[in-house]
């Protein structure tokens, strides 16, 4: 009887081992769950691209509307916007605290070493902003040895450092730079053209003006971490679909008063 039980147990054990994947067969890996929430980082002091609505406290602007539309088009159930300093955005991608940057970020070779950019979604350029009564500064060529303000981490700040003899003062947000300009604490600000235009329309024209030509055109892109090219491709696909179905044009006209140039 004992021999029979031992033999039966041996057969059962062999069956268990076979069922557990003995030999060369391997269990199929479980499918990764699709991420349902897109976490976005922005610095909301860059109207009309991103700013906080004074009444609702919601994040508004072209970038905010566009990234929400892209997230929905790409199949995300939720799009969460996080407020942080502009210079903290790229590090936040590296630590996985956010999935994407939507903050009027210019696509540049230097930044592309740290992040993966989507295709450009807006073409901009830099301009010089001065006080209305300043007739000595007519463009960037007149900023030598002058006091220049710019938002920290932006291409405007980078451009300011190239001006010979300039005293560059960085600000966390453009509104702080504008106040310093009004108080004559700086001679000029270098910033993005659409931001300067929006600022003037919102009352800044009472004391400030744009001078000189627009500097080289720059493209804005959304940024994701270097190891998340799949997300960049997904965002690119969604953006292309919005451009094709007319939703992109609708948002562009809402914030800039005209359809984008084709």
Terminal-to-terminal C-alpha distance of the chain: 89
Tokens of 39: 């976490």
pLDDT of 34 reads 62
Tell me the three state secondary structure of residue 88.
Answer: helix
Cβ atoms 234, 117 nearer than 8 A:
no
Task: State the Cα–Cα distance between residues 70 and 78, nearest whole angstrom.
Answer: 11
Cβ atoms 122, 62 nearer than 8 A:
yes
pLDDT of 216 reads 79
Tell me the three state secondary structure of residue 11.
Answer: helix
Residue 26's Cα: distance from chain center in Å? 42
pLDDT of 19 reads 39
pLDDT of 136 reads 97
Backbone phi and psi for residue 22, each to the nearest 5 degrees, phi listed first? -65, 160
Average pLDDT of the chain? 88
Give residue-wise pLDDT tens across range 191-241: 999 999 999 999 999 999 999 999 878 899 999 999 999 999 999 999 999
Give the C-alpha distances (Å, rounded to integers) separating 50 from 5, 28, 34: 76, 45, 28
pLDDT of 259 reads 84
Task: State the Cα–Cα distance between residues 201 and 102, nearest whole angstrom.
Answer: 23
Give residue-wise pLDDT tens across range 31-66: 334 679 999 999 999 999 999 998 998 999 999 999
Domains of the chain: 37-121+221-256 (3.40.190.10), 124-218 (3.40.190.10)
Between 71 and 215, the higher pLDDT residue: 71
Between 257 and 78, the higher pLDDT residue: 78
What predicted TM-score, i.e. pTM, was given to this entire model?
Answer: 0.77
Position 13 pLDDT exceeds 50: no
Q: Which residue has the tokens 């992109």?
A: 248
Tokens of 95: 């630590």
Residues of the chain with pLDDT > 90: what percent?
Answer: 81
Task: State the Cα–Cα distance between residues 182 and 116, nearest whole angstrom.
Answer: 38
Average of per-residue pLDDT across 109-122: 96
Position 1 pLDDT exceeds 90: no
Backbone phi and psi for residue 140, each to the nearest 5 degrees, phi listed first? -65, -25
Task: State the Cα–Cα distance between residues 71 and 75, nearest whole angstrom.
Answer: 6
Average of per-residue pLDDT across 20-38: 51
Residues of the chain with pLDDT > 70: what percent?
Answer: 87
Give residue-wise pLDDT tens across range 80-102: 999 999 999 999 999 999 999 99
């Amino acid at each position: 009887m004992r021999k029979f039980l031992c033999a039966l147990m041996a057969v059962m054990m062999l069956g268990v081992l076979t069922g557990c994947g003995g030999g060369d067969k391997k269990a199929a890996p479980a499918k990764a769950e699709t991420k349902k929430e897109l976490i976005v980082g922005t610095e909301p002091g860059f109207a009309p691209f991103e700013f906080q609505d004074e009444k609702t406290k919601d994040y508004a602007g072209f970038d905010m509307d566009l990234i929400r539309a892209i997230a929905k088009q790409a199949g995300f159930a939720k799009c969460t916007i996080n407020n942080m300093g502009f210079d903290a955005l790229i590090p936040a991608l590296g630590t996985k605290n956010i999935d994407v940057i939507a903050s009027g970020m210019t696509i540049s070779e230097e930044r592309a070493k740290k992040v993966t950019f989507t295709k450009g979604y807006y073409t901009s350029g830099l301009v010089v902003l001065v006080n209305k009564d300043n007739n000595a500064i007519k463009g960037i060529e007149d900023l030598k040895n002058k006091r220049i303000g710019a938002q920290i981490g932006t291409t405007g700040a980078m451009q300011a450092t190239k001006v010979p003899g300039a005293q560059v003062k960085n600000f966390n947000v453009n509104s702080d730079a504008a106040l310093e300009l009004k108080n004559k604490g700086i001679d000029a600000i270098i910033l993005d053209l659409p931001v300067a235009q929006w600022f003037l329309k919102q009352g800044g024209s009472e004391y400030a003006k744009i001078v000189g030509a627009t500097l080289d055109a720059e493209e804005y892109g959304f940024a994701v971490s270097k190891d998340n090219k799949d997300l960049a491709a997904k965002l690119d696909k969604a953006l292309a679909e919005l451009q094709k179905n007319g939703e992109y044009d609708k948002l562009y006209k809402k914030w800039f008063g005209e359809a984008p140039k084709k």
